[in-house]
Structure formats: structure tokens, C-alpha cells
């Protein structure tokens, strides 16, 4: 699977556990450590954990393993590093505080819509 397609797939997996405000940041021309960030918000520790588990489980089923994980004890900001793609799952307050979108504002980015809502709106 191409890296951009995988970033999109990860973004869509966030919605399975009610993640929201999902965004992909394209870092290819501004950073050497990763091609994409996938960022999403959650309202509770339990939801942060559920989203991170969903992503990890579904990608593992496809033979894609997470290289490094951080934040699984505090659950304010979980980072899943898939080498070319780094996933950031934030509790809302932590996302506002760290504001990665502003930090990486020189990189192209786009919001990802919940596929279920897109399907529903097409009906």
C-alpha cells in the first residue's frame, strides 16, 4: 500500500472509535523523519486508548507493525510511529495546547471526513 493511501486508511480508522477532527499533514518536503502525520482528537482517556488499539490492531492484521509507541500510560497524547507515518491521538485539550498544526503550518494538510458520514450524505 502506498504511503499516502496508508495515511488515509489510518485516518479513517480513527472514526471507528469516534475520533474526530482528523487531519493529515504531508511532511515529505519539510521533514526527513516521516512522510505524514495523522492527527485526531478524542474526548477521554478510554477513547484515546480505543483509537490507538483500533489502528494498531487493524494494521497488524495487514502485516503492518508499529515501530514505536508513546503515551499509553498517561493517555493524553498517544504517538504511534509507523516510520513513514506518525499518528498522534490527542485528548482535545492536549491537542489545543501542543498545536502541531500550527507548528507544521508550512506543510500541506487536509481534513479527513468520516467515511460513514460521507456515505450517509450521498443517500
| E strands, the chain, in order | 20-26, 36-42, 68-70, 77-81, 85-91, 109-112
pLDDT digits 0-9 by tens, 22-69: 999 999 999 999 999 999 999 999 999 999 999 999 999 999 999 999
Give the pLDDT confidence score for residue 119 in this predicted structure: 62
Q: Is the pTM of this model over 0.75?
A: yes
Q: Which domains does the chain have, with CATH numbers?
A: 3-122 (3.30.460.10)
Torsion angle, CA of 110/112/117/119, rounded to 10 degrees? 90
Amino acid at each position: 500500500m502506498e504511503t499516502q493511501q496508508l495515511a488515509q486508511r489510518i485516518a479513517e480508522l480513527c472514526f471507528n472509535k469516534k475520533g474526530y477532527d482528523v487531519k493529515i499533514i504531508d511532511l515529505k518536503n519539510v521533514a526527513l523523519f516521516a512522510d505524514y502525520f495523522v492527527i485526531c482528537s478524542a474526548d477521554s482517556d478510554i477513547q484515546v486508548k480505543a483509537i490507538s488499539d483500533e489502528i494498531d490492531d487493524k494494521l497488524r492484521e495487514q502485516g503492518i507493525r508499529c515501530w514505536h509507541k508513546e503515551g499509553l500510560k498517561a493517555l493524553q497524547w498517544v504517538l504511534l510511529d509507523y516510520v513513514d507515518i506518525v499518528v498522534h491521538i490527542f485528548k482535545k485539550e492536549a491537542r489545543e495546547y501542543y498545536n502541531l498544526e500550527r507548528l507544521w503550518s508550512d506543510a500541506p494538510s487536509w481534513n479527513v471526513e468520516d467515511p460513514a458520514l460521507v456515505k450517509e450524505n450521498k443517500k
